[in-house]
Amino acid sequence: MIEQNVIVSNRAGVHARPSALIVQETKNFKCSIHFEKGRDRINAKSIMGVITLGASYGTVIKVIADGEDEEKAVEIITRLFESKFYEDENEGA
């Protein structure tokens, strides 16, 4: 099992579009993937779970992956959060 903290760094937080991107990425992994925020723990492969987590800008989320491809899963999810879900690419343009 691998645990990694990520920070929501896009201004709009994890709304519908980032949630869809997360689920699109996580569904390709065999391992179980969960997100924890405070006392809440959700399945990261569930779009409703990700949306209802209510992760706003600056929120710290613990990514927990367990299974044969857990390292790659955490790497991809971390990269997705670090990219700000590709939302800020045109900021300032």
What is the spatial order of strands in the sheet that 40-43 belongs to?
A: 2-7, 60-66, 32-37, 40-43
Q: Tell me, rounded to whole angstroms, the distance of Cα 10 from its chain centroid.
A: 12
- Say which CATH topology domain 2-86 has: Histidine-containing Protein; Chain: A; (3.30.1340)
All structural domains of the chain with their residue ranges: 2-86
pLDDT digits (tens, 9 = 90+) for 39-86: 999 999 999 999 999 999 999 999 999 999 999 999 999 999 999 998
Residues marked active site are found at 15
Residue 87 pLDDT level (bands cut at 50, 70, 90): confident
Q: Which pLDDT value is given to residue 43?
A: 98
Least confident interval from 23-27, 37-41, 59-63, 86-90: 86-90
